[in-house]
């Protein structure tokens, strides 16, 4: 790598050689597609409360702070369950764990089909969050059993696309149910879709052949979890994605309400407008995955092809959101919100592969889960903060603008931290050396004399 960051010819040749070192097993992309569909269901489950926000608030007579609490409740057990299940998949096949999680999601939706109280809705969202908390990290861990490190960015991008398509596909369908029938039936429809995915996974889901986690737990060197969790790249991933998820959780909970109550659109129109950030975000996600993989083939370090590529869009997106309160016109404000928040998608593509670079496979499930558990804490905070800000503002539109400005500042700060801390290539070398030093005395102690 030259001082200017351009890879040398030798580096490019080494990078190209590395890319062809391991073949992708047959059936790998079938698993990616099934897990993509899992994430479609996952995010459809997440978005339904935000999409039905206005009728829910009207029917249950909720104040903005109460609705913010409802949005936050999804994340109350999200992180705890993610960590617990993350350690579990170090020993248990991901096929069965994913099956169990999907069953929980489906069953948690059906109580809302009938008349419900705020308390019942709150409890069901907490249960749903507990079931969905481990989903992304377990699905990523499952995919990495099918792809070698140098080929993981693109399947990670496809998996991440499930979040965008979950909203793009679900919003018009669920909004039609909400407008023409009832928000109650929207929850029931999601429960049925969840059970359909369970049947598909039972028929086609398999465990990846590239890694035997139990065998690797015996054969490969372990790195103490405290060293992995305090590594600068792990901390950088958590902080950077925390800022991105702040924007995402606001989009899930408050975007449709902003369109209806803040800008005056109808519920029907708001359903279509609510798709826009996810369409743009999906484009960013797939472009990031493709560009990252191309850069790696051409010999760029993962510092550049993953760390910088993921952090810079966060900063740019935050700067765009800071201009929203100073612009006039609903169309322009929506465009700024769509572009600013949509740029966050880049960080989701690059962080899991970065963590996978330096984490032993037998520990990877737990590390990905802890990473997810920590950054999704912003999902507890952001919706409730927005609700309180709206409640205390002089007008509803002023409250929304203040909330989006807070979002912008958090995005910029987290992006800068990511830019400073994300060095996965050097992290791998440092942690591997440390593990080798720690295992050397043990090998000498047990060797025959």
Instruction: Tell me the CATH number at 181.
Output: 1.20.1250.20
- 135 vs 24, higher pLDDT: 135
pLDDT value for 300: 93
7 in any annotated domain? no
Number of domains, the chain? 1
Cα–Cα separations (whole angstroms), residue 260 to 98, 119, 181: 36, 25, 19
In this prediction, residues 338-363 reach a mean pLDDT of: 91
- According to the model, what pLDDT value does residue 231 have? 96
Spatial distance between the Cα atoms of 291 and 187, rounded to a whole number of angstroms: 37
Q: Is residue 241 part of a domain?
A: yes
Q: Is the pLDDT of residue 17 over 50?
A: no
pLDDT over 80 (residue 114): yes
> Does residue 348 lie in a domain region?
yes
Average of per-residue pLDDT values in the chain: 86
Tell whether 87 is covered by a domain.
yes
Residue 444 lies in a domain: no
Q: Is residue 128 part of a domain?
A: yes
Question: Which residue in this structure is represented by tokens 């096929």?
Answer: 95
In a domain, residue 429? The reply is yes
* 3-state SS record for the chain: CCCCCCCCHHHHHHHHHHHCCCCCCCCHHHHHHHHHHHHHHHHHHHHHHHHCHHHHHHHHCCCHHHHHHHHHHCCCCHHHHHHHHHHHCCCCCHHHHHHHHHHHHHHHHHHHHCCCCHHHHHHHHHHHHHHHCCHHHHHHHHHHCCCCHHHCHHHHHHHHHHHHHHHHHHHHHHHHHHHHCCHHHHHHHHHHHHHHHHHHHHHHCCCCCCCCHHHHHHHCCCCCHHHHHCCHHHHHHHHHHHHHHHHHHHHHHHHHHHHHHHCCCCHHHHHHHCCHHHHHHHHHHHHHHHHHHHHHHCCCCHHHHHHHHHHHHHHHHHHHHHCHHHCCCHHHHHHHHHHHHHCCHHHHHHHHHHHHHHCCHHHHHHHHHHHHHHHCCHHHHHHHHHHHHHHHCCCHHHHHHHHHHHHHHHHHHHHHHHHHHCCHHHHHHHHHHHHHHHHHHHHHHHCCC
Predicted pLDDT of residue 5: 44
9 has a pLDDT exceeding 80: no
123-132, 170-179, 294-303: range with lowest mean pLDDT: 170-179
**Quick one: pLDDT at residue 438?**
52
pLDDT at 169: 83
Asked whether the predicted pLDDT for residue 337 surpasses 50, the reply is yes
- Res. 163: pLDDT tops 80: no
Q: What does the pLDDT read at residue 158?
A: 87
- Confidence band (pLDDT; 50, 70, 90) for 435? low
Q: How confident is the model at residue 240 (pLDDT cuts 50, 70, 90)?
A: very high
Q: How confident is the model at residue 278 (pLDDT cuts 50, 70, 90)?
A: confident
Q: What pLDDT is recorded for position 449? A: 41
Structural domain of 32: 27-438
pLDDT, position 219: 58
Residue 444 CA to residue 449 CA, distance in Å, equals 9
| Residue 94 belongs to some domain of the structure | yes
pLDDT of 58 above 50: yes
CA dihedral angle for residue 214, residue 79, residue 355, residue 321, rounded to 10 degrees: 160
């Amino acid at each position: 790598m030259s001082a200017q960051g351009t890879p040398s010819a030798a580096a490019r040749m080494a990078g190209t050689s590395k890319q062809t070192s391991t073949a992708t097993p047959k059936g790998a992309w079938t698993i990616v597609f099934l897990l993509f569909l899992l994430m479609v269901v996952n995010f459809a489950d997440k978005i339904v409360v935000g999409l039905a926000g206005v009728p829910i608030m009207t029917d249950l007579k909720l104040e903005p702070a109460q609705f913010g609490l409802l949005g936050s409740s999804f994340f109350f057990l999200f992180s705890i369950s993610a960590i617990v299940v993350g350690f579990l998949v170090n020993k248990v096949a991901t096929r069965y764990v994913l099956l169990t999680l999907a069953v929980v999601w489906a069953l948690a939706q059906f109580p809302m089909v009938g008349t419900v109280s705020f308390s019942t809705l709150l409890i069901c969202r907490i249960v749903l969050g507990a079931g969905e908390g481990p989903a992304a990290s377990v699905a990523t861990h499952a995919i990495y059993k099918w792809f070698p490190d140098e080929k993981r960015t693109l399947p990670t991008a496809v998996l991440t696309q499930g979040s965008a398509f979950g909203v793009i596909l679900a919003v018009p369908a669920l909004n039609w149910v909400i407008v023409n029938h009832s928000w109650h039936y929207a929850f029931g429809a999601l429960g049925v879709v969840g059970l359909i995915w369970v049947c598909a996974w039972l028929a086609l889901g398999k465990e990846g052949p590239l890694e035997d986690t139990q065998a690797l737990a015996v054969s490969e060197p372990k790195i103490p979890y405290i060293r992995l969790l305090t590594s600068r790249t792990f901390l950088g991933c958590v902080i950077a994605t925390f800022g991105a998820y702040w924007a995402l959780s606001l989009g899930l909970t408050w975007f449709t309400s902003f369109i209806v109550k803040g800008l005056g659109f109808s519920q029907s129109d708001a359903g279509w407008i609510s798709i826009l950030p996810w369409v743009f975000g999906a484009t960013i996600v797939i472009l990031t995955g493709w560009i990252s993989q191309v850069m790696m083939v051409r010999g760029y370090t993962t510092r550049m092809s993953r760390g910088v590529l993921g952090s810079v869009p966060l900063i740019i997106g935050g700067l765009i959101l800071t201009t929203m309160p100073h612009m006039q016109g609903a169309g322009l404000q929506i465009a700024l919100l769509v572009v600013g928040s949509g740029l966050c998608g880049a960080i989701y593509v690059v962080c899991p592969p970065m963590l996978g670079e330096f984490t032993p496979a037998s520990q990877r499930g737990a590390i990905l889960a802890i990473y997810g558990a920590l950054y999704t804490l912003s999902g507890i905070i952001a919706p409730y903060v927005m609700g309180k800000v709206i409640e205390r503002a002089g007008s509803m539109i002023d409250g929304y603008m203040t909330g989006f400005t807070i979002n912008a500042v958090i995005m910029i700060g987290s992006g800068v931290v990511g830019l400073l801390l994300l060095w996965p290539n050097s992290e791998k070398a440092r942690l591997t050396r440390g593990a080798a030093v720690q295992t050397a005395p043990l090998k000498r102690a047990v060797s025959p004399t």
